[in-house]
Amino acid sequence: MLRQEMHEFVVNTRGRGFYEITEPVAAWLRGLHARNGLLTLHLRHTSASLLIQENADPEVRRDLERFFSRLAPDGDALFQHTAEGEDDMPAHIRTALTTVNVSIPVADSCLALGTWQGIYVWEHRHDPHGRRVAAHFIGE
Q: Footprint of its own copies on this chain (CB under 8 A)?
A: 2-4, 6, 8, 36-38, 40, 42-46, 51-54, 57, 59-60, 62-64, 66-67, 70-72, 78-81, 83, 89, 92-93, 95-105, 107, 112-117, 132, 134-136, 138-140
Q: Which is nearer to its own copies, 65 or 126 (CB)?
A: 65
Closest CA to 41 of 138, 139, 135, 137: 135
Cβ proximity of 39 and 136 under 8 Å = yes
Q: Which is nearer to its own copies, 33 or 114 (CB)?
A: 114
CB of 113 to its own copies, least distance (A): 6
CB of 27 to its own copies, least distance (A): 19
CB of 36 to its own copies, least distance (A): 6
Question: Would you state the torsion angle of the CA atoms of residues 24, 26, 27, 30, taken in this order, to the nearest 10 degrees?
Answer: 160
Q: Please report, for residues 57, 58, 68, 69, 103, the alpha-carbon distance to residue 63 in angstroms, rounded to integers and kept in the order given.
A: 11, 9, 9, 10, 25
